[in-house]
């Protein structure tokens, strides 16, 4: 997933970029509205993270220009302005979400993922996490350039974890989405499925992808 940050505070932009890269996003940064507009027009991004108060062109105008040009990239506005008219305007010009500063990075990450799943990340959108790539239209998976031979169930499990990368997916949700079953806390059905998947996507390679959150579920993150 490729993100564009438009933020005129270099320290804030650097901190955001570093944190997002740690969650396996590809990130580019612009420091004023005009530069951000140019980059968003010339390149394809999966989500834009925009400050509202920008030199050159404010975030609201930037998004309005993109929408006029037919560019529908999802947008999260970041701003210290929390007045209701500002939030309404952000949504009216085509923003997908509006986060008031200061904010927790975990909340921003959740909102980005929600936007991607809602609009930007379709059933055919490829997923890239570190050296793992999932080509969803062809249902093909590669790690380190090597194609992995996954069963339908293993593919579905990996796709579920990848779509929620950086967030814990509970055993209950896995059971419901893969088998349409109510989860039995004493059953090892989910854990066994994860073990089989790990043998194919982790054992032959360096770096773990799937991490256990004891008593809760599993999370897929960048290889360690």
Which of 85, 120, 155 corresponds to the end of one domain? 120
- pLDDT one-digit tens code per residue, 109-166: 888 887 877 654 444 567 888 889 998 778 899 999 999 999 988 998 998 898 888 8
Q: Which residues form the domain of 69?
A: 2-120
Pairing of strands 75-79, 97-100: parallel
CATH number at residue 100: 3.40.50.2300
Same domain, yes or no: 116 and 6: yes
Considering the entire predicted model, what is its pTM?
0.59
Same domain, 175 and 84: no
Last residue of a domain, one of 69, 86, 120: 120
Q: Are 155 and 141 in contact (CB under 8 A)?
A: yes
Ranking 5-19, 40-54, 61-75, 122-136 by mean pLDDT, the lowest is: 122-136
Taking a C-beta distance cutoff of 8 angstroms, is the pair 67, 39 a contact?
Answer: no
Q: How many domains does the structure of the chain reveal?
A: 2
C-alpha span between 78 and 101 (Å, rounded): 7
């Amino acid at each position: 997933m490729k993100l564009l940050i438009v933020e005129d505070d270099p320290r804030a932009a650097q901190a955001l970029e570093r944190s997002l890269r740690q969650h396996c996003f590809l990130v580019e940064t612009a420091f004023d509205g005009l530069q951000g507009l140019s980059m968003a027009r010339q390149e394809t991004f999966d989500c834009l993270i925009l400050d509202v108060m920008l030199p050159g062109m404010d975030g609201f105008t930037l998004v309005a220009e993109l929408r006029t040009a037919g560019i529908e990239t999802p947008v999260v506005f970041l701003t210290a302005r929390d007045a209701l008219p500002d939030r309404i305007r952000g949504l009216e010009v085509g923003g997908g979400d509006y986060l008031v500063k200061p904010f927790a990075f975990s909340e921003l990450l959740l909102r980005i993922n929600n936007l991607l799943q809602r609009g930007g990340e379709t059933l055919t959108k490829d997923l890239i996490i570190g050296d793992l790539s999932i080509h969803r239209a062809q249902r093909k998976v590669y790690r380190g350039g090597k194609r992995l031979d996954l069963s339908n169930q293993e593919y579905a499990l990996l796709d579920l974890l990848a779509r929620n990368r950086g967030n814990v997916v509970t055993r209950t949700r896995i059971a419901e989405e893969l088998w349409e079953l109510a989860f039995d806390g004493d059953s090892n059905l989910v854990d066994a499925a994860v073990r089989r998947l790990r043998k194919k996507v982790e054992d032959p390679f360096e770096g773990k992808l799937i991490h256990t959150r004891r008593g809760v579920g599993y999370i897929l993150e960048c290889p360690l």
